[in-house]
């Protein structure tokens, strides 16, 4: 038994299962009804490489702030935006690698763990990307409105349904036989009421990186950020707007 990347690469239960069922391959019905919705159909996916290279935005922002620090809360919002953007870049790379590892695995019984590792990788990315968007907007209510179908809105719904998975399961909202509140399909991430394609996830990452580039100089960051937010703003009843973190 070895340890890889901080976890057991050969869990005891899997090792035991291999000894008992050395040629076991789970049926499509078992995969779809006991593991994850449409798992048997998830055999290929085109996941873009990171659209750009990450930069040391957080360090640059802090060093630039030594000469011209913004007052808080703008400073705190931007610092958190930088750290979450850097995290989102790391998350995307990891989730992409985990997904490709699953897609290129031999069809053995322990691919269940590889699939769940990929799902978890994307859950982590959704959390950091969504929180980065909240920090970018300085917790204002302007990036999307409830049910508008925007990418930011769909990502928030996907994140919330993943985050509150236990509540979704307990509520009985999942279709019969379903087990996860978010799952993988060939085009991207899906939940009961939302979906985001892998191409769109790469687009979000690209936006975060570009916005971090534009706001890492505190002397001009606030005005630059306001201008960037204005380009994303939508006109809607504030009671219908749902950008604040849940």
What does the block give as tokens for 43? Answer: 């055999």
Residue 80 has pLDDT above 90, yes or no: yes
On whether the CB atoms of residues 156 and 147 are closer than 8 A, the answer is no
Would you tell me the crossing angle of helices 198-215 and 218-232 to the nearest 10 degrees?
140
pLDDT category at 3 given cuts 50, 70, 90 is very low
- Residue 34's CB is within 10 A of a number of other CB atoms, namely 13
**pLDDT confidence bin for 166, thresholds 50/70/90:** low
pTM for the complete prediction? Answer: 0.80
15 lies in some domain: no
Sign of CA dihedral 56, 76, 224, 197: positive
Q: What is the mean pLDDT of residues 112-140?
A: 91
d(CA 78, CA 104): 39
pLDDT at 138 over 90: no
Query: Where does the pLDDT of residue 171 fall: very low under 50, low under 70, confident under 90, or very high at 90 and above?
Result: low
- Confidence category of residue 238, pLDDT binned at 50, 70, 90: very low
Tell me whether residue 246 is in a domain.
no
- pLDDT more than 90, % of the chain: 43
Tell me how many domains the chain contains. Answer: 1
Query: Is residue 123 domain-resident?
Result: yes
With CA atoms as reference, report the closest residue to 221 among 82, 55, 54, 128.
82
- Which range marks the domain in which residue 109 is found? 32-240
Per-residue pLDDT of 13-64, as tens digits, reads 445 544 555 556 788 888 888 888 899 999 999 999 999 999 999 999 999 9
State mean pLDDT over 92-113.
87
Higher-confidence residue: 35 or 175?
35
**Structural domain contains residue 100:** yes
What is the reported pLDDT for 11? Answer: 40
- The band of 167, judged by pLDDT with boundaries at 50, 70 and 90, is low
In a domain, 25, yes or no: no
Residue 8: per-residue pLDDT:
36
What is the C-alpha to C-alpha distance for residues 172 and 176, in angstroms, rounded to an integer? 9
At CA 166, angle to CA 133 and CA 164, rounded to 5?
A: 15
Task: Tell me if 16 is assigned to some domain.
Answer: no
Which 3 state secondary structure label does DSSP give 25? coil
**DSSP-assigned letter for residue 33:** I
In a domain, 36, yes or no: yes
Residue 115 lies in a domain: yes
pLDDT for residue 175 is more than 80:
no
């Amino acid at each position: 038994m070895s340890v890889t990347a901080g976890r057991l690469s050969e869990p005891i239960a899997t090792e035991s299962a291999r000894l008992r069922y050395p040629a076991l391959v789970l049926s499509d019905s078992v995969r779809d009804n006991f593991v994850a919705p449409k798992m048997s159909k998830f055999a290929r996916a085109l996941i873009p490489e990171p659209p750009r290279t990450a930069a040391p935005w957080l360090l640059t922002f802090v060093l630039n702030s030594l000469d011209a620090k913004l007052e808080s809360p703008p400073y705190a919002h931007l610092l958190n935006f930088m750290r979450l953007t850097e995290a989102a870049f790391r998350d995307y790379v990891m989730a992409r690698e985990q997904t490709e590892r699953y897609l290129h695995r031999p069809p053995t019984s322990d691919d269940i763990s590889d699939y769940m590792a990929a799902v978890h990788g994307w859950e982590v990315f959704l959390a950091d990307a969504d929180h980065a968007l909240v920090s970018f907007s300085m917790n204002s209510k302007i990036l999307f409105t409830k049910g508008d179908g925007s990418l930011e809105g769909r990502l928030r719904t996907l994140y919330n349904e993943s985050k509150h998975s236990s509540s979704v399961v307990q509520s009985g909202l999942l279709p019969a036989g379903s087990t996860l509140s978010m799952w993988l399909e060939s085009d991207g991430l899906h939940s009961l009421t939302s979906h985001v394609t892998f191409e769109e996830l790469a687009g979000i990452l690209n936006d975060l990186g570009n916005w971090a580039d534009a706001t890492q100089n505190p002397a001009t960051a606030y005005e630059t950020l306001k201008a960037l937010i204005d380009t994303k703003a939508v006109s809607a009843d504030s009671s219908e707007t749902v950008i604040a973190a849940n």
